[in-house]
Structures are given as C-alpha cells and as structure tokens.
Amino acid sequence: MTEQETNFHFLERFDKRVAQLAKQAEEYVHTDPDSCMFKLRLMIETMAKKLTELQMRQDISQDLGSMLGALERNGIVPRRQADSMHAIRRDGNAAVHGNPTPVPTAMRRLKEAYNISGWFCKIVKRGSKVKLEHFVEPTPPIPVDQETQQLHTRIEELEDSIEHRRMTTRESLLMFGPHEDIDVVTKRIYDELEALDKVAATAGEPIIDAELVALVMAMDLEQIEEDPRHGGDSRVAKREAEKQLEAIKLHLASREQEFLEERSKLMRNRDDTIDS
Amino acid sequence: MRIQNISLFSGSQELITMSSSNKEQATNPEVATLWFLAARTMAIAGGELPSVQEAATGLYAQAILGFSEDDCRQAKSPDQIDNKTLIDCLSGVRQLSKELAEKILTGVMMISYADRTMTPLEVRWASMLASAIEVTPDEFQKCCVNARVIASMLRPQGSQS
C-alpha cells in the first residue's frame, strides 16, 4: 500500500467524519500509536453517536461506555462488533491516561475498526452493498529492526493471550455456551415448555398469582422500599446485592488493569534495553 | 438436616449444600447448569433474547449465586447441559437447599422482569419452579420483590465508561 492509499476509502460515501478519523488513525499507526488510538476511539464514539441518533428514541448518556452498553442491550450492535468497540474504547482510554500503546496493539485495533466500518456502513444506509477487501497493513516509514520485531512478536503473543482470557470471561457470563446453536436450543426448550404447559393446564394445576406478579412488576422501587412488608428486607437485600455486584465488577476491572500492566511491562523492558 | 444457614444474597462455594443429608451432593457446575437452564427457559418463554438478559444471567450467577467463571463455563459445556430437559431442571432444583432454590427462583424472576413484561408461558415457568421448590405464597412474593430490586441493578446506565 502506498502513502496515498488507505483501507478506508469506502467509508467516505457513508460518513466523511468517520472516514477522516479512520484515515488519520491509519497514518499514525506506526509513527504514533497513541494518537492512532485517540483517533480510533473518537471514530468509535462518532459511530456510536450516529447509531444512537438513528436507532434509539430515548435519551442516552453521551458517555461512550453508556452509549455502547445501550446499543448492545437494544440489539443494535451485535456482540462481535460490541466487543471490538469496547476493546478500542478501553485501549483509547488507556492511551489518553498515559499508558503507551504498542504498535501491534494499535494495528490490531485498526483492523477491528476496519471490520466494524463495513458493518457500520450497512447499518447507516440500509440495503447498501459493502464488500470489504482484505485489510492491508500500512507499511512502516522506516524498516523495523530485528529487536523491535522480536518485541512486536512478544506483544502479539500477549495480545492473543489477553484476548483469550477476555473471551473466557465473556463466555462465562453469557446465557449460552459457544458450542450451542441458540436457535436449536431455543426451539427445543420452547417446545418442551409448551408441552409442559399443556400437561399442567389439563391437570388443572393452579398457576401462580399472575396479578401479584404484575403488581410487583409495576411498582416503583421506592414503593417497594416504603412498603412495610418488604421495605426493610428489600433495602438490606439491595445493599447486599449491590456489594456483591460491585465485587464482581471490581474483579473484572482489576483483570483489565492486569492486562494493561502486562503490556506496559513489556514496553518498559524495551525502553530500558534501549536506554542501556 | 440443613448444614448451613445462609442469608438470601450471600455468595459462597458452600451454597450447594443440600438441604437433606440423604440427598446426593451436586457439584458447582451441576448446580450452575440448573441455573442456566432455568434462566434461559424464562428468557425463551418471554419470546426474545435481548442481550440484557444474557449479561444479567452470568452476572447473577457469579455475583449472587457465587459461581466461579470456570463453574459457569463448565455448566454450559455439551456433556453438562446438552442432555438436560426441563424436567431434569425441575427435579434438580427440588433437590437443592431451600435457600439456594429460592435464589434461583429470584434470579429467574429477575430475568422475566428485564423487559418489564410477562407472558403466560413465563408465568407458567415461574409457577412450575415455585411448585418444585415448594415455596409458600409469602416466600414467592419475597422472591418477586427481590427480583424486582435486582433487575433494576443489572441494567446500570453509564457503568462502562
């Protein structure tokens, strides 16, 4: 690929601002990977804003994490794209906070941004045909020496390992396992439940009080907490559950911090070698 | 004989303790399988599978039921879950300690509240679980209230910045 060429030409027809940010990220990937990450993060943020404007009616916080969460929860951004967008958001934030971005990490995120872009175009202009070509890695302005190449290989291995660990965590949280065909399982369970429902109805088995369920569902949390029968218990339960949820979130956040430190350590080792 | 008395929301490896000494002890992944089966059945009964329910299922398993990441992954492995029917699930939760079974019922109700509607099939599944666990109307009401409270927490806004 020559200097004038870019992987992101196709984006211009769909969103000039996103295309410009993508091209800038591409230009910086070798010379200034931190700036590459800033641009990629901004690119994702611009995409997320556009998607929330186009696809969501309710007001969404303009914070990127919240926007991505809302888009994912509402089924607008599929899981694979959401994972990539979150990875860019995390690494972009890390770069903003002074954690150096290695070139292989920025390159990985650039490729992910490329794949997301293809999907994004189809969403913003329904029916548009976007056929992504094979992503061509921008060439470094000066040849990479052997030592840097070795470091890049180690960083690639580390990134693979981080991705694997993230995937493991992700799989543990999801409702279905990676081997399962969700449509097949859904049909099987639905059929079985319907059959059980018919048996129960035929046997005249009383069902739970649907009115009660509807009432509780309609109640505001404040009403529940003020209710003399539930108030005390509910508040205690809420505090306990909040603590336990917080513990899991802290655990997940500390894992991400560990990943960042592993990456920073590799970069520091390299800097120490150069200084000596 | 109940071996351990636990509070409704405590997460612990010992949660799988059976309520009766003559019942076989299930392993954590086995109990986690019951949870995932019960939860996904409720989600499927609701008609669609929005991702909020997906994420809430795993968070509840780890934060409230106290399962590890490994337990949750093993619970969904083919040899663990592929051959399990809803009858197995109902029979399994019946074998659990009352406290743990109530937590599972609470979580299942939380799944049904995620979209703030409830279909007749969802009501039926809740009813079947409640019957299997043998909860009283008061206990069921407590589960519903707690489910409502937790459902509000598992849809955090702005928590991922």
pLDDT in tens, A188-206: 999 999 999 988 888 776 5
Q: Name the residue among A48, A78, A40, A80 with its Cα closest to residue A65.
A: A48
pLDDT in tens, B108-126: 998 887 777 778 888 889 9
Cβ contacts of B77 on chain A, cutoff 8 Å = 177, 179
**CATH annotation of A9-143:** 1.20.120
pLDDT (0 to 100) of residue B17 = 34
> Complex ipTM above 0.90?
no
Q: What percent of chain A has pLDDT over 70?
A: 86
Q: Domain containing B88 — which CATH number?
A: 1.10.3680
Q: Name the residue among B70, B109, B75, B68 with its Cα closest to residue B89.
A: B75
Tell me how many residue pairs between chain A and chain B have CB atoms under 8 A apart. Answer: 187
pLDDT category, B145, cuts 50, 70, 90?
confident
Cβ contacts of A72 on chain B, cutoff 8 Å = 51
pLDDT category, B151, cuts 50, 70, 90?
confident
Report helix, strand or coil for B1: coil
Whole-prediction pTM value?
0.77
pLDDT (0 to 100) of residue B21 = 37
Report helix, strand or coil for B96: strand
Question: Is residue B132 assigned to a domain?
Answer: yes
CA distance A69 to A42: 17
B123: containing domain: 27-153
CB contact under 8 A, A193 and B149: no
CB contact under 8 A, A224 and B149: yes
Token look-up 């046997």 returns A203
CA distance A214 to B148: 11
> Among A10-14, A221-225, B35-39, which is the least confidently predicted range?
A221-225
Structural domain boundaries in chain A: 9-143, 181-207
Residue B77 has pLDDT above 50, yes or no: yes
Residue B18, beta-bridge partner list: B96
Residue A246 has pLDDT above 90, yes or no: no
pLDDT (0 to 100) of residue A248 = 84
Among B73, B143, B160, the strongest candidate for a mutation testing the A interface, having the largest count of A CBs within 10 A, is B160
CB contact under 8 A, B157 and A70: yes
Residues in chain A: 276
Question: Is residue B101 assigned to a domain?
Answer: yes
Question: Is residue B127 assigned to a domain?
Answer: yes
The domain tally of chain B equals 1
Question: Is residue B140 assigned to a domain?
Answer: yes
- Does A216 lie at the interface with B, CB-CB under 8 angstroms? yes
pLDDT (0 to 100) of residue B127 = 87
Question: Is residue B113 assigned to a domain?
Answer: yes
Question: Is residue B63 assigned to a domain?
Answer: yes
Question: Is residue B12 assigned to a domain?
Answer: no
Residue B96, beta-bridge partner list: B18
Among A41, A213, A224, A256, the strongest candidate for a mutation testing the B interface, having the largest count of B CBs within 10 A, is A213
Question: Is residue B81 assigned to a domain?
Answer: yes
Nearest to A216 among B51, B131, B145 (CB): B145
